[in-house]
A and B are shown apart, each in its own frame.
Chain A
Amino acid sequence: MANAASGMAVDDECKLKFLELKAKRTHRFIIYKIDDKKKMVVVEKVGEPALNYEDFAASLPTNECRYAIFDYDFVTEENCQKSKIFFVAWSPDTARVRSKMIYASSKERFKRELDGIQVELQATDPTEVGFDVIQGRAN
């Protein structure tokens, strides 16, 4: 059902990279952006598994919006190796209003393409995507 949504399309590559991250664990993170000309969400960057959370956070531009997926590995209190897939809607306050609007109104439709997101975060400043936040939300 339609909503007050932007109607933005999603490039197939977005889904593909997400499936690779989920099933083959070949990426630590994926950064997505909206391509204004193509009017669709496209993959901007993928991070290899060896990268860590700081590398991920550093890949989010300070003045522009993005969507991102981060695969978070952690060890539970019972000493169990676990992982959780985070979806981050990055919308810094300093981004242009138009861009914030596009990302916010395209999010719902985009997220539906990525089956298997476990935790979702919406962040407008770096403190909202701090490592402590990720840790806190993982359990």
Chain B
Amino acid sequence: MYGGDEVSAIVIDVGSYSCKAGYAGDDTPKCVFPSVVGSIEQTGDTDEAKPEKEADSGSDPKNGSKPMDVDKAKTKRKFYLGQELEFRREHMEVISPLKDGTVIDWEVVDNIWNHAFRRRLLINPEEHPMLIAEPSTNSGQQREKAAELMFEKYKVPALFLAKNAVLTSFASGRATSLVVDCGGGSTVVSAVHDGYVLQKSAATSPIGGEFLTDCMMKSLESKGVVIRPKYSFKKKEVRPGDYKVVDLDFPNTTDSYRLYCMRAIASDIKESVCRVPDTPFDEVAYANVPTTSYELPDGQTIEVGADRFKIPDILFNPYLSQTIPGIDGFGDSTSIRGLPRMVLDSVNRCDVDIRKELLSNILLSGGLSSILQIKERLEKEVLEESPQNARVKVLASGSSMERRFSVWIGGSILASLGSFQQMWFSKAEYEEHGVSYIQRKCP
């Protein structure tokens, strides 16, 4: 048991798109920053960047404890996080620590945690219990690694790992629900029953917000739109009030950085103009829909027409993405299902007795769920395919902040409950029972 509820716990949700971190008990996370980082490989033995690195980066080699098998290759990398990503740097690559929801680069995760704690929240992790939100399908190995890093490196006094879907479900007042998390890297559907994720029901599709951003970008490109990253031009005043865009050339910019900047723009276009159509998208019927204009950073105004509806419809009809030039088909396209199908399959993999209850408690969450008309369309299509007498209800918070941060908010409340304090996996228990005890404490 961990016995100190005087200091507030820290809650952190590292999603594939953004990291949300803050104090337990708060309504919203104190800091939200990208989950991707800039990375520059340090060549040769120039120690030039080293002192700074020790001060601000998470990887501290002197720290007596056995380093996680963080990165065997041992190329030194210098990382840039948060706002530092907004400045272009020579040879800086943009990398993500997660792939399909699992961590593939612990050194980067370590740096993200460190950035959140020491640079944004300005706290000493040794003093705060940590609640970490994790994907419903996280493997035992991944959980132990997270726990080991937290106890050994950050020396946290206590830890708890809670599943994304459970936190979202609890925050809506339901111990049983079907949680649909439309996030950045993926869309995950999982049934929660009496506070547990039913593993057999959990399904993941790669169609999340970022995939739609890519589709938007490629579709615009195929129509001749040139998206200029902000760093790549300058506006020059040729006559008072009259500007001319001058392209700048930076040959040492990496492709990944250029893409990152273009995606940021495409993402904003997507968020500003898209709306889920009421019925499946149809190329012919939508050929003449009124367009919406959008002004790009370089001052060009573009008109977005059918794509406003087509791009979000990909969530419902994944095959549509294959009509966009430059979007790679899914390896086995038949295994990628649209959202309503995922929901129904997931429900059908659960016990007959709880299916009705799941269908009437479908919870929409995640950043992408803020897209207009998604709730109505999902409810309509699930209803059409459900048993006659089933009551289908899709629920989503009226506030897009609450939809996007539902996982974090759930963690924030849980970790701040007085009665929860006995649930923590404490440092003493870690030392006594070892890291595998996490599986018992936080199943």
Contacts and interface: CB of A to CB of B under 8 A. Distances in A.
Contacts of B171: 97, 100-101, 104
Contacts of B442: 2, 4
A122 B361 contact: yes
A103 B173 contact: yes
A108 interface: yes
Interface in A101-121: 101-108, 111
B345 to A, nearest CB: 23
Contacts of B166: 4
B414 interface: yes
Contact of B195 (A40, A108, A124): A108
Interface size class of B (residues with CB under 8 A): 35 or more
Interface size class of A (residues with CB under 8 A): 20 to 34
A1 to B, nearest CB: 6
A7 B175 contact: no
Given A104-B173, A105-B170, A122-B357, A4 B163 contact: yes
A104 B175 contact: yes
Contact of B441 (A2, A91, A103): A2
A93 B443 CA distance: 29
A19 B409 CA distance: 37
Query: Mostly helix, strand, loop or mixed at chain B's interface?
Result: helix
B440 interface: yes
A108 B170 contact: no
A100 B196 CA distance: 17
A79 interface: no
A99 B171 CA distance: 9
Contacts of B422: 7
B420 A7 contact: yes
B443 A39 contact: no
Given A65-B173, A104-B175, A97 B195 contact: no
Contacts of B409: 97
A26 interface: no
A24 to B, nearest CB: 29
A102 B167 CA distance: 11
Contacts of A106: 419
A69 interface: no
B77 interface: no
B174 interface: yes
Nearest to A125: B393
Contacts of B440: 1-2
B423 interface: yes
A105 B414 contact: yes
B125 interface: no
B169 interface: yes
A81 interface: no
A46 interface: no
B126 interface: no
Contact of A124 (B173, B196, B420): B173
28 contacts: A1-B443, A2-B423, A2-B440, A2-B441, A2-B443, A3-B443, A4-B162, A4-B170, A5-B195, A6-B420, A39-B419, A91-B174, A95-B173, A97-B171, A97-B413, A98-B413, A101-B414, A102-B413, A103-B173, A104-B171, A104-B172, A105-B195, A106-B419, A107-B195, A108-B175, A122-B175, A124-B174, A128-B360
